[in-house]
Chains A and B, each alone.
Chain A
Amino acid sequence: MEINVEMILLALALLFGFYMAWSVGANDVANAMGTSVGSGALTLRQAVILAAILEFSGAFFVGSHVSETVRKGIIDAQSFNDEPMLLGYGMLAAMLAAAAWLQFASYYGWPISTTHSIVGAIIGFGVVVGGVSAVHWEKVGTIASSWVISPLLSGTIAFFLFSYIRGQVFDSARPVLKAKQLTPFLVFFVFSILSLVMVFKGLKNLHLDLPLPQALLMAAGIGLIAAVLSHFLVKNIQEIPDEEETLPPSWSLSVGLGRADKYLKKALQSSSADMQPELEDILEKVGRMKEEVKQQVDSEMEVASYQKVERIFVYLQILSAGFVAFAHGANDVANAIGPLAAVINIVKTGTVAMKSAVPAWVLALGGVGIVVGLATWGWRVIETVGKRITDLTPTRGFSAEFSAAITIVLASKLGIPISTTHTLVGAVLGVGLARGLEALDLRTVRDIVISWVVTIPVGAVLTILFFYILRLIFE
C-alpha cells in the first residue's frame, strides 16, 4: 500500500510538473520571440524552432541553480524530518495550487507570474504546516525584493541602452554608418555575457565550469570572434540607397526641378526686357516648388536611412531574442522542476535529506515540457504578440530584450526565481521612458504590482487547501 501511494504521488508530481513546464512554454516564450516575428526578423517557424532549442538549452544547462532554490531554499526541509511525506504532499499541493491559479488568472488575462505563484504556494505551505520558523525568511526576502528590483534593473539598463543607441545612431548625421560601426561592439557584449554565463560555474552537466579568470578569457574570445564575424556581415550594407527602386519617388522630381531652374536662369539672361517679368515669376514659382520638394526628399531620405538602421538591428534583435529564450529557460524551468525534484527525492529516499542535486533527467523533462508548451500553444501566442506589437522595432526590441536577458541571467546565476515577464515589462518601460515608444499604457505596471500583492496569499491559501485534501486522501 505504501508503495502505491508513493507511485501515485510521483505520477501526480510528474503530471503537475509537466503542466507547469507546459504553461511556462505556452505563455511566456512569446515574450522573447513575439517581437522578432512581428518585425519580420524571423518567420513563425524559425522563431519556434530557435526558441525550442534555446529554451531547452537554458533549462537543461543552467536551470539547476534556480531549481535548487525553489526546491530547498524557501523552506527549511529539516522541519519535516520526522514526516518527510508531509513535505511531499506540500510540494504537490504547491504545484497544484500554482497551476490552478495560473489557469484561473490566464482566463481573465491577469498579468500574474508563474514564478510568483509557485514561490507563494511554497511559502504558504511552509508557514501553515511547518510553522513560521520553517521558512527561510531571509531567502524569501531576497526573492521578494528581487521581484521589485528585476524590473527596475532591466528598465534602467534598457533606458540607458536605448538612449545610447538613439544618441549614437539616430542622432548622428550618418545613422547607417554609425549603426554599422556600433554593431560589432554590441555583438561582442551579447556573446561575451552569454558565454560568461555558460562557462562560469555553469554547464555543470557538461562538466564545463571554469573559474572566473579562464571564464572571462574564454567569454571575451568568443565575443571577439562573433564581433569580427558581425563586422563582415554588415560591412557590405550600403549607406545611401543606390538602386532606383530604393530612392524616394520625389527624388526624380527634385532632379527635374533643379534642371528646370538652371535652364530658366539661362533663359532669363538671354531674354528680352519685356519677357523678363514673366520669366522671373515662373522662376520664383519653380524655386518655391524646388524648396518644397527638397524638404520632402530630405525627409524621405532620412526615413529611408532609419529603416536601414532598423534592418541592421534585425540581426541584433534575433540575437537578443535568442538570449532571452535561453535565460527564460534557465530561470523559469525551476517553477516546474523545483517542487517536482523535491517530490522525486522524497519518494526515492524516503527522507528529506536533500544533499543530492537536481537530476539531469528531471531538468530535461522540464525542458521538454517547455518545448511541448511552445509547440502546442506558445506559437499562437507568439503570432498574436507579433501581430499586435509592431511598435517594438528592432532597435527597441533589441534594447528591451537584451536588458531583460542580462537581468534574468544574472538572477539565474544567483539562484533567484524572478518573473521573466515582469522583467521584460520593466525593460519595455525603460525604452518607453527613453522616448523610444510613442505610447505606453502604464496601467500594466499597476496591475503587476497588484499581482505581486495578490499572488502570494492566493497561492498560499490554495496550497493549504490542496494540502489538506491530499493528506485526507492519502492517509
Chain B
Amino acid sequence: MRIPFMSMFITSPFEGVQEHAEKVKECAWVFQKAIECIIEDRCEDFEHFRREIDKLESEADAIKRRIRGHLPKGTLLVVDKFELFRYLSEQDKVLDVVEEGLDWLSFRAAAGIPEVLEKDFMIFVEAVMDPIEQLIQMVTAARKYFSTFSENQRVIVKDMIRTLRQYEHEADKLEDAIKEKIFNSIDDAVAVFHLIRLTEIIGSIADHAENAGDMMRAMVAK
C-alpha cells in the first residue's frame, strides 16, 4: 500500500521506557523476596531468585535494545535523544545493581544475615523500594507530560522527582546507620566486609533511581 503518511509514525520510545521501568520494579521485588528468604533462614532454593532476576534482566535488555533499535537517525522526538538514552541507561543501572546485590548475597548465602541486623536490613530494603516505586509513577506522569507539555503536568512530575529524592535521602540515612551498627556489633572481619559491601550495593539501588530522576528532571526542563 502506498501510504507515506503512515510510514512517518513510529512507536514512541516512552512506551518501552515504561515497560523497562516495570521490569526494574519486578526485579526489585524479587530482590526483596530474596533478602526476606535469607533472613527467614528457610531459604532452600536461593538459585531460583537468581534465575528469575536473570530472566527479567534479559527481558529488560531486550526492551532497551528495542528502544534503541527503533530510533533511526532521522527521528524527531519530543526530548533530546541523547538525554533519553542517558535516562534509560540510568534506569537500567538500577536493574544491574539489583542483580549485583543478589549475586553478592549468594556468595555468602549460607552465612546469611546476622540476627542483630535482620530488622535493620528489612527496613532498609523496604526503604529502597520506595524510590523505585516512585520511579514508575514518575515515568508514567512524565509520559503524560510529553504528550501535553502542560505546566500543571510538569509541576506534578517535578513533585514526584522531589519525593524520589527524599526517599533516596531517607535510604541514605538508613544506610549510614546500618554501617555503623555493622562495625559495632560484628567482629568477624569477613562478615563485616560482606555486609558493608552488601549495604553499599543496596544503597546504590536508590542512588541510581535518584540519578534516573535527575535525568528526568533534565528532560522535563523547559
The answer on a CB contact under 8 Å between B150 and A438 is: no
Is A83 among interface residues, defined by CB-CB distance under 8 A? no
- Which listed residue, A109, A166, A433, A441, touches B149 by the CB 8 Å rule? A166
- Which listed residue, B4, B13, B147, B160, touches A295 by the CB 8 Å rule? B160
- Which listed residue, A102, A438, A443, touches B147 by the CB 8 Å rule? A438
Shortest B194–chain A CB gap in Å is 32
Is A381 among interface residues, defined by CB-CB distance under 8 A? yes
Q: Which of B49-57, B70-78, B208-216 contacts A (4 or more CB under 8 A)?
A: B70-78
Q: What's the Cα separation between A175 and B144 when bound, in Å?
A: 14
CB contact list, B1-29 vs A, under 8 A: 1-14
Is A425 among interface residues, defined by CB-CB distance under 8 A? yes
Shortest A178–chain B CB gap in Å is 11
Q: What's the Cα separation between A439 and B77 when bound, in Å?
A: 5
The answer on a CB contact under 8 Å between B149 and A170 is: yes
Q: Which of A299-307, A350-358, A458-466 contacts B (4 or more CB under 8 A)?
A: A299-307
Q: What's the Cα separation between A397 and B156 when bound, in Å?
A: 27
The answer on a CB contact under 8 Å between A302 and B1 is: no
The answer on a CB contact under 8 Å between A299 and B2 is: no
Is A79 among interface residues, defined by CB-CB distance under 8 A? no
Q: What's the Cα separation between A448 and B74 when bound, in Å?
A: 14
Q: What's the Cα separation between A111 and B4 when bound, in Å?
A: 5
The answer on a CB contact under 8 Å between A109 and B2 is: yes
Assuming the contacts A105-B2, A111-B2, asked whether A439 and B144 have C-beta atoms less than 8 A apart, the reply is no
A-side contacts of B4, CB under 8 Å: 110-111, 421-422, 425, 444, 447-448
The answer on a CB contact under 8 Å between A306 and B1 is: no
Is A389 among interface residues, defined by CB-CB distance under 8 A? yes
Q: What's the Cα separation between A445 and B1 when bound, in Å?
A: 18
Shortest B113–chain A CB gap in Å is 25
Assuming the contacts A438-B14, A440-B75, asked whether A302 and B9 have C-beta atoms less than 8 A apart, the reply is no
CB contact list, A75-116 vs B, under 8 A: 102, 105-106, 109-112
The answer on a CB contact under 8 Å between A440 and B150 is: no
- Which listed residue, A109, A393, A441, touches B10 by the CB 8 Å rule? A441
Shortest B20–chain A CB gap in Å is 16
Q: What's the Cα separation between A337 and B70 when bound, in Å?
A: 42
Q: Can you give 8 contacting A-B residue pairs, CB < 8 Å?
A: A303-B144, A384-B1, A391-B12, A439-B77, A440-B10, A440-B76, A442-B76, A444-B8
In the complex, the 5 A-B pairs of residues with the closest C-beta atoms, listed nearest first? A111-B4, A438-B12, A442-B74, A106-B2, A170-B150
Where the two chains meet, the residues of A that have a C-beta atom closer than 8 Å to any C-beta of B are 27, 30-31, 34, 102, 105-106, 109-112, 166, 170-173, 175, 291-292, 295-296, 298-299, 302-303, 306, 381, 384-385, 388-389, 391-393, 421-422, 424-425, 428-429, 432-433, 435, 437-448
Where the two chains meet, the residues of B that have a C-beta atom closer than 8 Å to any C-beta of A are 1-14, 71-78, 134, 137, 140-141, 144, 146-153, 156, 159-160, 163
Beyond contacts A295-B159, A448-B4: 7 other A-B pairs, Cβ-Cβ < 8 A, are A111-B7, A295-B163, A303-B144, A306-B147, A381-B3, A439-B12, A442-B76
